Amino acid sequence: MSLLTNLIEHSLDEGYAEAAARRAARPDPPGSGGTTGWVLALGLLMVGLLLATAAAQVRDRAPAASQARDALTAEIVERTTASDQLEADLQLLRASVEEARAEALSLTTTGSEIATLLTDLEAVTGAGAVRGPGLVVHLEDADSEQPTGSEDPRADDQSNDGRVTDRDLQTIVNEVWVAGAEAVAINGQRLTARSAIRSAGQAILVDFRPLSPPYDVVAIGEPEQLQSRLVDGFGGSYLQVLRDYGITFTVQTRDSVLLPAAAGIPVRYANVPVTESTSAESTEPAP
């Protein structure tokens, strides 16, 4: 405590008292007033410079944060545009490859058989665009934005009830498959056997591409059968539960829907064995 008391009682630099005592003992020689002013001015100049520099520093730092944020946002937009462009290019190139392949295969009988097989496989795997009658499940987040008082998206964990989640989309897509769908897409993102519906923060990602609400789950299949199986089965009761949370949905049959091809179905580890003998060789243990 004595330390604190000492600190409080002797808050003034003792140099002042000593200097005053010295002055009292030995009166100022006349003529030193000029240098006095300059020393003080120099000191105050340093004080002002320091305070103003610190203020400028603080002022500059706040925009720096938002500048970084703006730069990141711009980069996201730029990269997304580039990615969209690349995907469009990919679709064009793939179309020309398919055209060339179809032309080459149509020259022989086996070739045209293979072409038919290929088209079927592409339709089933999602590698090719498909058209046909089907069903559209339209899901929309709850209208009423509950006032949370916070604009920070990380902060409002409480008001997520009226929001469509990745789990909801997973369940509905699975139920649509169960109902007999032959091909499914969400907001134009074709689903393949390896598609993932995930969420990152509040965004729902399909194959790592973010979706924005409302969500359209489009399925190709026999429309009446799809609708009745979906609505009567678990999917229907699940949609009713979603309705309790304020999520609105419609299930509509369509005479013709067009599903795009999936962006890519990369196979990294699996290889198609060329013949039986080569695959047998490759599984043989090394001597």
| Residues of the shown chain interacting with other proteins in the complex, contacts defined by CB under 8 A | 4, 7-8, 11-13, 15-20, 23, 36-57, 60
CB of 140 closer than 8 Å to CB of 246: no
Nearest Cα neighbor of 184 from 169, 165, 206, 192 is 192
Residue closer to other proteins (CB basis): 22 or 154: 22
Minimum CB separation of residue 81 from other proteins in Å reads 35
Provide, rounded to whole angstroms, the least separation between the CB of residue 34 and other proteins.
9
Going by C-alpha positions, the residue among 157, 130, 110 that lies closest to residue 219 is: 130
Packing angle of the helix pair 109-125, 33-105 (nearest 10 deg):
140
Task: Give residue for tokens 């140099």.
Answer: 15
Strand ranges for 82-234 from DSSP E? 130-140, 183-186, 189-190, 197-200, 203-206, 209-211, 215-220
CB of 43 to other proteins, least distance (A): 4
Find the shortest distance in angstroms from Cβ 63 to other proteins.
13
Residue with Cβ nearer other proteins (38 or 269): 38
Q: Which amino acid is at 283?
A: T
By beta-carbon proximity to other proteins, the closer residue of 54 and 155 is 54
Q: At its nearest, how many Å lie between other proteins and the CB of residue 44?
A: 4
Q: Which is nearer to other proteins, 15 or 29 (CB)?
A: 15
Query: For other proteins, which is the closer residue by CB, 17 or 200?
Result: 17
